[in-house]
A and B are shown apart, each in its own frame.
Chain A
Amino acid sequence: MEKHTIIITVANRIGVLARIAGLLSSRGFNIDSIIGAPTENPDIYKIHLVVGGTEQRIEQVTKQLNKLIDTVKIVDISHKKNYIVREFILIKVKAQKNRSEILELINVFKAKVVDMTRTHITIDISGPTLKIERFIDLLRPYGIKEFVRSGKIAVSED
């Protein structure tokens, strides 16, 4: 079951996020991540969605989402190359002994330290999903206390 990243452009109307989420759950989809936020145009709102499903089921639900009156445009960018995809993440990692190693990793990955205590470092990193996952992976041995991910967002290349 492949994950699909879908960008939905909708009219900025009351309840629109609930409509999208409601349709997905009524059609039996589990949402991996969903982000909704206003855009440069106050009438338009953009939703970034990650869901898993077979190609055929995703196509069907995309059509259903497109049918919603408030949906202006919908693109499944999973197989599209011309999109810049980013994810943002905050990570709290144990850092008493191996501080310098961790700081080095942060440096290599162009991440940022946003907070530091005697026991922990909190890091902020953004980038393509693959980079983020690799970063998390490398931090794991030190002991990750907590992380939060934003889910994916994307823009098309011109």
Chain B
Amino acid sequence: MTGAEILIDALKKEGVDIMFGYPGGVVIPIFDVLYRDKEINLILTRHEQGAAHAADGYARASGKVGVCLVTSGPGATNTITGIATAKLDSIPIVVISGQVRTNIIGTDAFQETDMAGLTRSICKHNYLVQKTQELPQIIKEAFYIARSGRPGPVSLDLPLDVVTAKLKNYSYPKKVNLPGYNPTIKGNPRQIKKLAQAIKDAKKPLIMSGGGIISSGTSDELLKLLEMTNIPIVITLMGLGSIPTDHRLFLGMPGMHGRVAANYALTECDLLIAIGTRFDDRVTGDLKTFGKNAKIAHIDIDPAEIGKNVETDIPVVGDIQNVLNDLLGMIKPRIPNEWNRTTAGWKEKYKLGYKQQKTGEILPQYVVDRISHLAEQNAIIVTDVGQHQMWAALYCNHKKPRSFLSSGGLGTMGFGLPAAMGASMAYPDRMIINISGDGSIQMNIQELATCAINEIPVKIAVLNNTYLGMVRQWQELFWDRNYSKTCLKQTLHCPHDCKGPGKDCSQVYRPDFVKVAEANGIIGLRAAKPSEVDSVIKEGFRTKGPVLMEFMVRRVESVYPMVPGGKPINEMIIG
């Protein structure tokens, strides 16, 4: 068998039936095997960044490893943003890139880039395969590393001669040989006992959970813990959907754009139990005041996360599944107390809200709210990055894990559409909705054609505020409304120092998204008045296949609550 044939066979043995990719010179031998193959479906995206994000979206939705295949040089470098996005959110993908022949590596050969060097700091692990004999073992390891422990992206660089050379006795290995890699799975019983005791002693306990609950598939265990202990909970952006939004103990998302109740609870609690969350600065705000009254327990599979940003009193390294099961066996039911009433009171007092008038401007929160209401029960929401992302996080009714996909750590604009395609390939029968902004959608808009041609039924909702809204919001609040290069309507004829849209702004928005959709063979719909919002959403959802819905929303709406960067998280601008 050739290296290329081995690769495809090995992918099947790893359970791959869908991948995303883009061909080029050095990977023709691999594409040639796919040409004859009937089991693996490779979706040709229109850009390698799209392929990487699609693999990522597939992985986020399904929990399986997402795979993409690209050529060397520019094909490989185009995946870099996708790899970094997956790294920061701990998403298991394997990115296979072609490479020039081994004997010319290092000579600046045509379309040669040092992929191993480029990806070193943005992937969990990478390989430059030297010989065809090594290929089976390396593929085995790549998938194992991507999905085990704390998941993450693995890059696999395959020189041309490695994929064309033949190997006589190929068999796919059953085991990996990685003496340095043994993720800690069991939690230390002493620490878990300490945690159980701390729960018993605490007057104001709080749980903060995050992306780890999603990746370990432990929503049920978490719910059990909540039922048993009645401890209020806050959930980070990456953990949304771990439990339903309307759960009685759920106080909301914490952090920079978190809910007041969540941030107050974090500031006031006397025991903080962090489960599968890495204390990102968007969540903690000023570290000096974060959790200042609390004993902090931290459950995480990655020892390097413990104590990285906040000092931990009870470190528990291990897989959440095991740790929660052990913990559940050690604790007794806790009765709701004064603290439960206080936190519930905050939740009641500081409700999220917006006031949509019947006429005039459409509010973006209203659009998100309506989308969430009208969507199918098991819909998956995929966002881009910006204000719309925060509104989607705050206003959608999250019901299930793996149903809210968002680039949290890297905050990659352009993630949404291709990731939604990936989710749709994982679940062809579920409704997949991409909530995007007019800036973000343009970053991978070429994938509209991919959706049309492959009949990938993504429902795209573009909240068009004509601004790079999130940056504009910062300029409004902290930079004296100097809207430098954040207005997407700004033309050569606009005043250089525009302080925001006046009534007389007559510039035309480009592009016309409805026409762009239509040019790609996708139905385009537009709502310009509040009364049109529901009908556009309903029609979009009713229509078979991909649809782009554009909502002309209020141009200068801001996301609140907001904690200014670096401030204590209980010092919020409520709006």
Contacts and interface: CB of A to CB of B under 8 A. Distances in A.
B117 A18 contact: yes
B398 interface: no
A72 B179 CA distance: 6
Interface stretch (B258-266, B271-279, B303-311, B444-452): B303-311
Interface string A45-80: 000000000001001100110111111110000000
B180 A70 contact: yes
Nearest to A64: B304
B386 to A, nearest CB: 27
Contacts of B116: 15
Contact of A23 (B121, B125, B130): B121
Interface residues of A, number: 22
Contact of B180 (A11, A56, A64): A11
Contacts of B303: 63, 66-67
B145 interface: yes
B179 A67 contact: no
B95 to A, nearest CB: 16
Interface residues of B, number: 18
Nearest to B124: A69
Contact of B120 (A19, A59, A60, A72): A19
Contacts of B128: 14-15
A69 B178 contact: yes
A69 B304 contact: no
Given A14-B128, A67-B304, A26 B117 contact: no
Interface in A102-154: none
For the complex, would chain A's binding face be called helix, strand, loop or mixed by DSSP majority? Answer: helix
Interface string A12-44: 001100110011001000000000000000000
B110 interface: no
A10 interface: yes
Contact of B121 (A10, A22, A59, A71): A22
A71 B121 CA distance: 15
Residue of A15, A26, A59 with most chain B CB atoms under a 10 A cut-off: A15
Interface of A: 10-11, 14-15, 18-19, 22-23, 26, 56, 59-60, 63-64, 66-73
A11 B117 contact: no
Contacts of A64: 304
Nearest to B303: A63
Given A14-B130, A59-B307, A67 B302 contact: yes
A19 B125 CA distance: 10
A60 B125 contact: no
A17 B461 CA distance: 47
Contacts of B117: 18, 22
A66 B305 CA distance: 12
Given A14-B128, A60-B304, A69-B178, 7 more contacts: A22-B117, A26-B121, A60-B308, A63-B303, A68-B125, A69-B180, A73-B180
Nearest to B150: A67
